[in-house]
Amino acid sequence: MNQLSLEKRTQIINLLVEGNSLRSCSRLADVSITTVCKLFVEVGTACQKFHDDVVYNISAKRIECDEIWAFVYAKQKNAEHTGNAEAGDAWTWTAIDPDTKLILAWLVGKRDAESANTFMHDVASRLNSQVQMTTDGLKKYVAAVEKAFEGHIDYAQLVKIYGKGERDGKIDNRIQYIGADRITISGNPDPAHISTSMVERQNLTMRMHMRRFTRKTNAFSKKLENHKHSVAIHFVWYNFVRIHKTLRVTPAMEAGLTDRLMEISDMVKLTEKYGKDSN
């Protein structure tokens, strides 16, 4: 591609991480949609490689995991009629350290045993000590956590309970949150820290800053590869660029992975180190 100035490339990525679509970035930055797409792919690829190189050997006490739903090309119920093998549900599995707010790992895949195993092995490979982990009640987590950590973990599930309640003395037919069961799966997890609140709040951050996760719009991903690039760009921005309001530093700084604040221009410059031909 004809190389844009660093300032222009930084502007485009800044627009993307703030929740704009590819076409709106094209209009706002006054460049072609093809240019935006090529830059998006290059930066997304570089961000994934950067995360794999830097986020490892993490000292964490607690980890929360969850999955957030989206879809590619078409919803699952319509996927078989599209002729597109990538069409259907696209679940993003995430693992966050609630103390540093660092996203340790993510995986875009299905909500199945294969994805659970791959994700949990990735999480385990990035830690340097035994941790307490909390997930939701998805059964596929149990075997995946056992295989990845081989019992060296304090693991619990937070199983939420929903039902119909009362409103003004009448039965309210809307599904409401009633409570949650804290179930110890292995080890000796501290009941006070069996929680998924932080990772569920992160789901909201994802939906606010990635247009592809916005519900009931036409902004969904049309290609699985682009969906993955969007997630990679978001999490590098979240970990290394965005200052957390509570911490007043980035999650990466709080976790000791870096002692400086990255800028979006630094994310763009990652393409120079992690180009298409880099290993």
Is residue 278 in a domain?
no
CA distance 14 to 18: 6
Is residue 183 in a domain?
yes
CA distance 134 to 92: 17
Whether 276 has a pLDDT exceeding 70, the answer reads no
Whether 277 has a pLDDT exceeding 60, the answer reads no
Is residue 108 in a domain?
yes
pLDDT at 212: 87
Is residue 136 in a domain?
yes
CA distance 212 to 214: 6
Is residue 157 in a domain?
yes
* Domain count within the chain: 1
Q: What is the mean pLDDT of residues 112-134?
A: 97
Is residue 1 in a domain?
no
The pLDDT tens digits for 210-250 are: 988 887 777 788 899 999 999 999 999 999 999 998 999 99
Q: What is the mean pLDDT of residues 2-13?
A: 91
Is residue 279 in a domain?
no
Identify which of 132, 122, 127, 86 has the alpha carbon closest to the alpha carbon of residue 226: 86
pLDDT at 49: 97
Is residue 107 in a domain?
yes
Provide the whole-model pTM. 0.90
Parallel/antiparallel/unpaired status of strands 88-96 and 62-72: antiparallel
Higher-confidence residue of 164 and 151: namely 151
Write the CATH number for 232. Answer: 3.30.420.10
Average pLDDT for the chain: 91
210 lies in which domain range? 6-273
